[in-house]
Every structure is written in structure tokens, then in C-alpha cells.
Chains A and B, each alone.
Chain A
Amino acid sequence: MKMKITSSNSVQRATRRWGLFFLGPVTAAFIIGFIWPFLQGIWLSLCRFKTISNAKFIGLDNYVKAFSDVGFRHAFWYTTMFTVVSLVLINVLAFAVAYFLTQGIKGSNLFRTVFFMPNLIGGIVLGYIWSMIFDGILSWWSTSILLESKYGFWGLIILMCWQQVGYMMIIYIAGLQNVPGEMLEAARIDGATRTQTLFKVTIPNVMPSITICMFLSLTNGFKLFDQNLALTGGQPFIIQPGGATIKTTEMLALNIFNTFNASGGSSQGVAQAKAVVFFVLVAGLGLLQLGYTRKKEVQQ
């Protein structure tokens, strides 16, 4: 026993000397690709700047400007609404499909393949495919998806369902296959109906999958960018009496992107402040998820 401890220690010591070789590349790339931009981003959100080299500290001014921006506030509510609706629809549909596909019906594998397929197509391409389809349908009433914000909203919901249902379905199928067969058998013998079995036995047993999918669709909804840009790009626009423009179908990520690109770079500080707010929001949701799943793991 003692021998083993020393040997493992000497292995560790021998390995330790190779630290630069094993960790060096990742650490360097991680500093360039994440740590430095992240810290610089926080610093710049407190500055006024045209170029990074002449940034001037101005305190929380950018944050005040960000929150008083009607476009940003609109994007916040719009994103929240979109996320809630898409979360409910995607999860209900995905669970239903997964439930039916695990009943041992003919063609399950083929169906699974088809439902998952849209997931591999990138957001930009998806957006253009669907903008052609919606415009094709709406042209019968001689209108377009860019002309009314409710078309843009429901269009994006349909697009996201088409893309995400297959993904969530995979997670639900994995959960459903872990429900103990004896439990379902026992419920059947005890005379439970199919609906009773579903709500009293199956759903409580797939709660971990449901939690994962809920959080995934929550963060996916908040972070949505490519599809939003490609489908409507924020259109239609409303020009307010004060001169401010509201892009009615613009979500948070797109709003931040547009603020960075707005008029000659004078609003980059505000855009960076918005990005920090966005980060706090998304990270908060993400950490909530991590904490929750970790608690679950302990219980199991």
C-alpha cells in the first residue's frame, strides 16, 4: 500500500515538470481568446473611447445610457417574451415526440433522424430558408414578414421550434429510456391508465432531463442571434416621436451588435456596457443551472 502511494506521487512529480508543454498552448490561447478580451471588455464598459488606446474612464455613464435606450429596453422585453413562448412550445413538442418515439412504434429511427436534422444547419442559412418560405406564404395576402412585427415574432418561434425540437427530443429520449421498466409494468398491473402512468410515473422520473432542456432553451432563447439577424434583422422599424428608432423584432444580442456598429463608433462604450449587462443575465441563468444540476447529482 505504501509503495503505491509513493509511486503515484513520483508519477505526479514527473508529470508536473511537463506543465508548460501540456498547459502552455491552451493557457496562451485562453488568455488571448477569453481572459484578456473579457477583462478589457469590463474596463471599456466604464470608458468613453473612439479607439481602445485613448479610452477615458467615465464611471457608470455608459450603463445609464444603456438602460435609458428605448431600443435596448424593448429588446429586453421582446427577448424575454420570445424566450418564454419558445421554451414552452419547444419543450412540450419535444417531450411529446420523444414520448411517442419510445413506444416501440415502427419507423422510430427514421423519425428520429428526420427530426434532428435541422439542428445541423447553421442559423444564418436557416434564417434565409425560412424567410423565403414565410414570404412565399405571406405573398398570398401580398404582405411580407418584414412588414409586421407579429409575423416576425411567430416566424422566429416556428423557425426555432423546427430547429430545436429535435435536439431536445434527443435529451428527452435518453431520459425516457432510463425510466425503469418494472415501474411502468407495476403501474399497468395496478390498473393505471396511460395518462395516469404518464403524469404519475414517467414525468417524475424524467425530471432531470426536463430541467436540462428548460435551462438549455432558456439560455438559447436569450443568446439567439444568427436566426434573428437572418430572418428579420429587426424589421419592421418604428420611428418614435422623439426621433429614436425601435427595431420591433430585434433581440438583445442583435441590439448589442447593432449598437457596436452604429454611427462611427461613438456608442461603443454603451454597446460594451449593454454586453456586460447581457453577460450578467446569461451567466446568472447558466450558474443557476450548474448549481441546480450539481444539487441533483448529490441527491442521486
Chain B
Amino acid sequence: MNTQKTLSAEARRKATLSAVLAVICVIYVLPVVAVVINSFKLNTFVKTDTFALPTGNMWAGFENFIKGMTFGNYPFAKSVLYSVVITLLSTALILLCTSMAAWYIARVNSLFCKALYFLCVFSMVVPFQMVMFTLSKTANSVRLLGFWGPHLNTPWTIPIIYLGFGAGLAIFMFVGFVKSIPLEIEEAAAIDGCGPLRTYFSVVVPMLKPTMVSVGILEIMWVWNDFLLPYLVLDKNLYRTIPIHIQYLKGSYGTVDLGATMALILLSIIPVIVFYLTCQKHIIAGVAAGAVKG
């Protein structure tokens, strides 16, 4: 009798907790709901009736989306394209180059490797503000192949900057993982006649996959949302990413159509939320791994 009573009390407590958390969850998504509501609202009502549903004379419909795509003298689709290009290229480059370097650092015991690893760990604690001015100047003057080719300030070459500034955390995470792989596997591959190249690409890379997913997700989230680095490095009249685009709209505050801005914000967070809901498990695991190690 007594245990039954405590059991039902426990169940009641849990149900109450669930209910309270559910209410908090609803409050938690309200800002996103506000974006959705206002993206369909006429400009003048966004400020005066922010939390009203866009009914009657407030309704702007998809007009906001069409307007938003073109204003600011820069097509939004172009910003999306550049954001996608920069994010994918940077992440691919970082994954390939840092995992190679990390394997070499973990396996070859030379002074240079130690120094490089130390500098990588050091770079993790340096805030971007420390290098932002000189980095943007460097990007404007250095060319892809030394003295030939495009400068590093285009969407196709900025991944090199991301590789340089973001190498620290990636190498740190990869080295940590490679050190946990038993050396015997690679020795067996060597005895079977694999050179270092084959050993790395057909033996080590498959084992690195889980860490690649974690690092990849961290880099995607960083580069996609990054504002300051592309803002300082790219020529903003030619190339904009989504955060730069939205910052520019706000810069002309007052003259800008708030409903259309919210429509663009909605368009820019939909892919993020879809990405999150489809790879939620990996994202949360990756973020936890990066946080605990960094």
C-alpha cells in the first residue's frame, strides 16, 4: 500500500514536470513563431502589432518573400549560393587537410610536428579580433599560388583562410582520436605492402569517420553562421553571405521593409532547422565532443 502510494506520487511529480517543461518549450519556440507571423505581415504593422496574427489588412502574403528576394540592391539567392559554396568548400578542405596533418602529427615524432601541434592548441585560445585586421589585409595581398592566381578574398579562396584560422580545433580533435587507434592496424597494413598514402586513405580514414562527422558539423555551424570573417575579407559589393546580407538590410533601418526582412530571416533559418531535425543526433554528439575537448 505504502509503495503504491509513493509510486503514484512519483508519477504525479513526473507528470507535473512534463507539463511545466512543455509550457516552457512552447515559450521557447515563440520567437521563431514571431518570425513566421511577421514574415506575412505588412511593414507598418510589424512594429505596432508584432504579436498579432497577420489577418485582415495586415496580411501581406508572399509579397514579402518576393520583395525580400530582390531588395538591398543584391539578390538574396546570390547570398544563399555564396553561403553554401563557402560552407561546403571550407568544411571539405578543413576535414581533408587537418585529418591528414593530425594523423602525421600523431604518428611521426618530430620537433616540427610538436611545434605545429602546440601552435594549433595555442590558436584555439586566440580571439578573432586579435588577427582580424591583419588577416583581412593578408587575404587582400596573398594570391592562391604565391604570386599568381586569384587573391584569397573571393568565395572560392576564402576556404583557405578558414582552414588556417580553424585548423586548431580540428587538429586537436583529430590528434586526440588518432592517438586512441592502435598502431598495430597500420603496421599490419605496412607489412601487407601499403605505403603511407594507402595506409592513410584506405585504413585510417574509414576509422576516422565518427570524428569526421563531429568536426564536420562543428565547422559547418561555424562557417555558415560566421559574420565577421567574410565581412572583413570579401568585397561586399560583389560577394555577400546570408549573415552579411541581413546585416546590410538592417543597416538601412527605417527605410527597410521589416516584413520582408522577416521573410528573409525565415528563409535563412528554415534550412538550418531542417538540417538540425535530420541530423540531430550527430549534431548534439558533435557539439558535446567539441565542447568537452575545446
Contacts A33-B164, A120-B276; A260 near B133 (Cβ below 8 A): yes
Cross-chain contact B50 with A133 (CB below 8 angstroms): yes
Residues from chain A with a CB closer than 8 A to the CB of B47 are 135-136, 139
Which residues of the other chain, B, contact A25 by a CB distance below 8 angstroms?
97, 100-101, 163
When chains A and B are docked, how far (Å) is the Cα of A155 from the Cα of B272?
24
Contact count band on B: 35 or more
Q: Evaluate contact between B108 and A120: CB separation under 8 angstroms.
A: no
Where chain B touches its partner, the secondary structure class is: helix
- Return chain A residues, CB-CB under 8 Å to B131: 34, 37-38, 41
Q: Is B1 engaged at the interface, CB distance under 8 Å to the other chain?
A: no
Tell whether, in the assembled complex, residue A275 and residue B18 are in contact, meaning their CB atoms are under 8 Å apart.
no
* Contact pick for A282, options B32, B98, B127, B162, CB 8 Å: B127
Assess whether B21 is in contact with A128, with CB atoms less than 8 Å apart.
Answer: no
Q: Are A52 and B97 in contact, with the CB atoms below 8 A?
A: no
* Chain A 9-39 per-residue mask, 1 if CB under 8 angstroms from chain B, else 0: 0111011111101110111011111111110
Q: Contact residue range for chain A? A: 35 or more
Main secondary structure of the interface of A (DSSP, over half): helix
**With A and B bound together, what is the CA distance between A117 and B226 in angstroms?**
17
A52 touches B137 (CB 8 A): yes
B129 touches A278 (CB 8 A): yes
Q: Report whether B160 and A22 are in contact in the complex, using a CB–CB cutoff of 8 Å.
A: no
Q: How far is the CA of A229 from the CA of B247 in the complex (A)?
A: 9
B135 within 8 A of A: yes
B101 and A26 within 8 A (CB): yes
Tell me which residues from 17 to 49 in chain B have a Cβ below 8 Å from any Cβ of chain A: 17-18, 21-22, 25, 28-29, 31-32, 34-35, 38, 46-48
A287 to B125, CA, bound (A): 7
Interface 1/0 per residue, A82-106 and B, CB below 8 Å: 0000000000000001001101111
Q: Does B79 contact A (CB under 8 A)?
A: no
Does residue B260 face the partner (Cβ distance < 8 Å to A)?
no
Chain A residues with CB under 8 A of B287? 119, 167, 170
Q: Give which listed residue, A10, A34, A132, A137, contacts B123 with CB less than 8 A.
A: A34
Is A122 close to B, CB under 8 A?
A: yes
Task: List A110-139 residues whose CB lies under 8 Å from chain B.
Answer: 110-125, 128-130, 132-133, 135-137, 139
Q: Which residue of B lies closest to A271 (CB)?
A: B133
Most buried by B among A34, A116, A135: A34
Indicate if the CB atoms of A26 and B98 lie closer than 8 Å. yes
Interface membership of B207, Cβ < 8 A: no
Proximity bits, B232-263, A CB within 8 Å = 1, else 0 = 00000000001100110010000000100110
Report yes or no: B21 in contact with A100, Cβ–Cβ below 8 A: yes
Known contacts A30-B164, A135-B47, A162-B31; is A113 also within 8 Å of B125 by CB? Answer: no
- Tell me the smallest distance from the CB of B97 to a CB of chain A, in Å: 4
A230 beta carbon closer than 8 Å to chain B: yes
Interface set of B (CB-CB < 8 Å, partner A): 14-15, 17-18, 21-22, 25, 28-29, 31-32, 34-35, 38, 46-48, 50-51, 97-98, 100-101, 103-105, 107-110, 112-113, 116, 119-121, 123-135, 137-138, 142, 152, 160-165, 167-168, 171, 183, 186-187, 190-191, 195-197, 199-200, 221, 224-228, 242-243, 246-247, 250, 258, 261-262, 265, 268-269, 272-273, 275-277, 280, 283-284, 287-288, 291-292
A interface list, Cβ under 8 A from B: 4, 7-8, 10-12, 14-19, 21-23, 25-27, 29-38, 40-41, 44, 52, 97, 100-101, 103-107, 110-125, 128-130, 132-133, 135-137, 139, 162, 167, 170-171, 174, 212, 216, 222-223, 225-226, 229-230, 253, 256-257, 260, 268, 271-272, 275-276, 278-279, 282-283, 286-287, 290
Q: What are 17 A-B interface contacts by the 8 Å CB criterion? A: A12-B107, A17-B196, A30-B163, A33-B138, A34-B123, A34-B131, A34-B165, A37-B131, A41-B130, A106-B14, A125-B268, A128-B246, A136-B34, A170-B287, A174-B292, A276-B130, A283-B125
